[in-house]
């Protein structure tokens, strides 16, 4: 009986995590720097990207400067939009790393972290998602 209650508790925990809370949207319109690059810093943590809605101009180079918050939990950042010249898949580290690309097609593209611990919900499912919006 006790073990059943315990298992039920675990299941509930996993379910709640799987459908995670909605994260507040933090929208940033990335300015074009003096060097002509749209540079933006993104922090990855448990379980969020900050900012999580990034607006950039089409056909202008973009540089994402990525940093992971301290701690043992691994995070990555994935943006798969090969049609738009974007193919990002990189592990985040506490030491900043940058990724460069030039978007070629306006649209809204998903940002996500697909790390997970064992059989638990992936970080994406826990709300570690964002949007890269490419505008004209
Ligand atoms: Cu993550």
CA atoms of 116 and 114, how far apart (whole Å): 6
Q: Is the pLDDT of residue 40 over 90?
A: yes
Query: Which residues are close to ligand 1, an ion, with C-beta < 5 A?
Result: 75, 113, 115, 123, 128
Confidence at 22, pLDDT banded by 50, 70, 90:
confident
The alpha carbon of 44 and the centre of ligand 1 are apart by a number of angstroms equal to 7
Per-residue pLDDT tens over the stretch 7-20: 445 444 444 444 55
Tell me which residue of 121, 114, 116, 117 sits closest to 11, measured CA to CA.
121
The alpha carbon of 48 and the centre of ligand 1 are apart by a number of angstroms equal to 7
CA atoms of 73 and 68, how far apart (whole Å): 9
Confidence at 23, pLDDT banded by 50, 70, 90:
confident
| Domain architecture of the chain: domains with CATH | 2-135 (2.60.40.420)
CA atoms of 26 and 60, how far apart (whole Å): 22
Q: Which residue has the higher pLDDT, 15 or 61?
A: 61
3-state secondary structure of 112: strand
């Amino acid at each position: 009986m006790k073990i059943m209650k315990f298992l039920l508790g675990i299941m509930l925990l996993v379910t709640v995590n799987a459908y995670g809370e909605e994260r507040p949207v933090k929208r940033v319109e990335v300015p074009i720097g003096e060097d002509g690059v749209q540079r933006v810093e993104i922090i990855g943590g448990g379980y969020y990207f900050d900012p999580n809605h990034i607006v950039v101009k089409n056909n202008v180079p973009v540089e994402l400067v990525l940093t992971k918050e301290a701690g043992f939990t691994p995070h990555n950042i994935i943006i798969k939009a090969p049609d738009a010249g974007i193919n990002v898949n990189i592990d985040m580290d506490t030491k900043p790393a940058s990724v460069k690309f030039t978007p070629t097609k306006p649209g809204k593209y998903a940002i996500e972290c697909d790390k997970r611990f064992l059989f638990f919900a992936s970080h994406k499912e826990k709300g570690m998602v964002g949007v890269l919006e490419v505008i004209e």
